[in-house]
Amino acid sequence: MLVWCPDWPVVAAEIVDGIPAGGPVAVMHANKVVASSSAARAQGVRRGLRKRDAQSRCSRLIVVEHDPGRDMRAYEPVVAAVEQLAAGVAVLRPGVCAFAARGPARYFGGEAAAAEKLVDQVANECGVEAQIGVADGAFAALLAARAGKLIGEEETAEFLAGLSVSTLERPELADLLWRLGVRTLGDFAALPPGDVLARFGLDAALAQRLAAGRDDRPLAVRQPPPDLDVQERFAEPVERVDMAAFAARALAERLHEKLTGYGLVCTRLAIVAITADGQELERVWRHDGVLTAQAIADRTRWQLEGWLTSRKLACGIIALQLIPEGVLAQVGLQPGLWGEAGAERDRAHRAMHRVQGMLGPESVVTAVLGGGRDPLLQATMVAWGDERKPALAQGPWPGRLPPPSPAVVAQQEQPVEVISEAGEQVRVDARLALNADPGFVVMGRSKVEIVAWSGPWPVDERWWVVEQRPHRLVRLQVLLANGQALLLILSGGEWSIPAEFD
Amino acid sequence: MRGELPGLVRRASELTTEVAGLGADRVLPVLPELRELFAGQGLRRGSTVAVRPVPGVSGSTSLLLCLLAAASQGGSWCAVVGLPQLGLVAAAEMGVSLERLALVPYPGPQWTGVVATLLDGFDIVVVAAAGPVAASVRAQLAARARQRGSVLMPFVANPWEGADVSLSPEKSVWHGLGWGRGRLRSRELTVCARGRGSAERPRRSTFWLPGPPVPPPEAPQRIRLSVVR
């Protein structure tokens, strides 16, 4: 028995990327159409068509790049839904899965009843349309599913005999057979097998067996992934740190036991807490080495401490869940041969973990370089153990200051005044012209002469975000008489020092 | 035979770290420009190297980053405690490897405990303490560094008594910025190092950061055309 979801790449694009599958959609790979929606097919968009031809046939066509990973990710829930009713499900490709029909057919009282049940199940669980086909062998079952037929035992060869040779999905062979006058699978199956093997080769001999309905390849049954999450629900909401630590310890040991039972180790751990008012907090901890039971317990405790003491929570935690996100087979984790993964790194990691234990997980940070124009935003601070991901993507950032970058970046911008030789305030007009050359920087009571300057360099960003304050400023580099080199910014009519080239 | 010996035999103190071989792991590398400031041609493990910001002379933070750069590139782990204003883009440009740089920007009142813990695991620990540091705390941290083979690098304005080497910027001259034009390109930094005991005599080094100024490329000479009869 085979479950076929028609136009799966299109449906997957709708599930993952939210592209409406009801409209004309075509999934492209290497400039050729791989799959199209029914609306697109009605306009004449066929498989194998070039992008330009497809668009000329249907001008409103939405083109999506083919992504097998996306198809498989979206298909996973469908397989899980099928597995609830049938055992031993084999995924043939994203969109097609098969299993032995005998069990479900007997349990639900007939193949037709089982097929109906499965279609309902897939529709209810995933909201996806599916068709069922039953035949001997996966090849015939897929053709039966396309035709929407349930082929009984011993009738497969008869069903296949009437179909065209093009259904073999071997275009070259089908073309050759067509020109030789062999038009249907029945004709092809009737040829002497020895001659087919001698004339067309091994692949054609296999195709002939399929055409004759003798598909005796067994299904490669999928092993359902083990459920590794551990969860604990508390009768009383946990509000105190020591209670949370105790719960974390027990949960961590359970998780570790479970992982070692499967011979797995965890490199990334997600901690999810649900509070009494339904708020869900999640945080992922990353670890380069193996997370031991102690390490899992520590991270859970730190995280709960952080949540409980930062007063982010209005009420206590009622449920706690640990999800191992990155798992490897125990033997798969190989320490590096040189440098990086050595004794030095382990020592440094231990020291940082101890400091995190003293001051909290957010206290030890490492920096990741990202994009941005502001020298403070270019380096993202990431708590030690978290994923090193910059806040703003690298890329061309026009208007970014060229190196050397300032070695001191102020946490709070210090307001100053910039005046000209004549003593008037220096301002910038809409055409980015200064009303006078800057002469002095006034910081509090001291007034320092400017000996060299350059600018103004404008930044005008984030005006497209409604919620945030737009970021419009001009920058000057100045060199003072005392040897200090500063970056000055003028924003909203106020001068300040965001960074110093110390 | 006798004639050859004087050329071969040298005092042990004259051996540089590269020649000695065994001693190489006892000294963390520094940039070539800074080598002459240190008796051992680098940061000796277990020592205390103070960097003192001098009011009125800029360049102390760059000096600090420059000291970390070579060791960090060589695979050492560095930690910086109590310096939230450190420009990390500048650090990366100077050559500090950010994935091996841990920062504890706000260590709070228990900073000595934090520094002592970090000295266990890191090769270089930079400490920027806000107020004056008691002599007992200084001695304790220096002892910890000596025991663990790490380098303690205090970055404080007050003199750090007991430091093996104390570095401070003496003069900083920026190049590249004009009146209304140009941009900061490179600086000439003069650093003075004072040691303890016999190394009391100050050593000075002048070098360019990030590199010597590159003259702007000259416009290619225009080929003159002449009429040939």
At B125, which CATH number?
3.40.50.300
CA distance A36 to chain B (A): 46
In a domain, B224, yes or no: no
Greater confidence (A354 vs B31) lies with: B31
pLDDT score recorded for residue B22 = 41
Residues 171-210, chain B, touching A (beta carbon < 8 A): 171-174, 177-187, 209-210
Confidence of residue B19 (pLDDT cuts 50, 70, 90): very low
pLDDT score recorded for residue B20 = 39
Residues in A closer than 8 angstroms to B157, CB to CB, are none
User: Who among A351, A366, A403 is closest to B122 (CB)?
Assistant: A351
pLDDT score recorded for residue A288 = 63
In a domain, B214, yes or no: no
Residues in A closer than 8 angstroms to B105, CB to CB, are 365, 381
pLDDT score recorded for residue A383 = 85
- Most B CBs within 10 A among A349, A405, A435, A443, hence the mutation to make, goes to A405
In a domain, B46, yes or no: yes
| Record: contact A364-B103, CB cut-off 8 A | yes
| Record: contact B121-A482, CB cut-off 8 A | no
Residues in B closer than 8 angstroms to A500, CB to CB, are 58
In a domain, B63, yes or no: yes
User: Who among B87, B106, B180 is closest to A454 (CB)?
Assistant: B180
Residues in A closer than 8 angstroms to B57, CB to CB, are 483
User: Nearest CA to B192 among B171, B164, B167?
Assistant: B167
What is the phi-psi region of residue A48: left when phi exceeds 0, alpha when psi lies from -120 to 50, beta otherwise?
left
Residues in A closer than 8 angstroms to B117, CB to CB, are 351, 354-355, 358
Asked if ipTM goes beyond 0.90, one says no
CA-based nearest residue in chain A for residue B182? A454
pLDDT in tens, B86-138: 999 999 999 999 989 999 999 988 899 899 999 999 999 999 987 888 999 99
pLDDT score recorded for residue A339 = 46
CA-based nearest residue in chain A for residue B102? A366
Q: Is the pLDDT of residue B67 over 80?
A: yes
Instruction: Specify the number of domains making up chain B.
Output: 1
Confidence of residue B82 (pLDDT cuts 50, 70, 90): very high
Q: Do residues A386 and A365 make contact, with C-beta atoms less than 8 angstroms apart?
A: no
Tokens of B74: 């060589």
Residues in A closer than 8 angstroms to B90, CB to CB, are 404-407
Give the A:B interface size as CB pairs under 8 Å. 165
In a domain, B67, yes or no: yes
User: Who among A348, A375, A483 is closest to B58 (CB)?
Assistant: A483
Q: In Å, how far are A93, A133, A136, B176 from A143, measured between CA atoms? A: 15, 7, 11, 75
Rounded CA Rg of chain B: 22
Q: Do residues B85 and B65 make contact, with C-beta atoms less than 8 angstroms apart?
A: no
CA-based nearest residue in chain B for residue A346? B121
Structural domain containing residue B49: 26-174+181-209
User: pLDDT under 50 in chain A at which residues?
Assistant: 339-340
CA-based nearest residue in chain A for residue B112? A355
pLDDT score recorded for residue A34 = 86
Helix H or strand E encompassing B168: strand B165-177
In angstroms, the CA A495 to CA A413 distance is 9
pLDDT score recorded for residue B199 = 67
In angstroms, the CA A176 to CA B61 distance is 77
In a domain, B215, yes or no: no
CA distance A437 to chain B (A): 8
CA-based nearest residue in chain B for residue A352? B118
pLDDT score recorded for residue A310 = 65
Q: Is the pLDDT of residue B150 over 80?
A: yes
Half-sphere exposure of A453 (CA within 13 A, CB side): 25
In a domain, B155, yes or no: yes
pLDDT score recorded for residue B171 = 92
In a domain, B70, yes or no: yes
pLDDT score recorded for residue B147 = 92
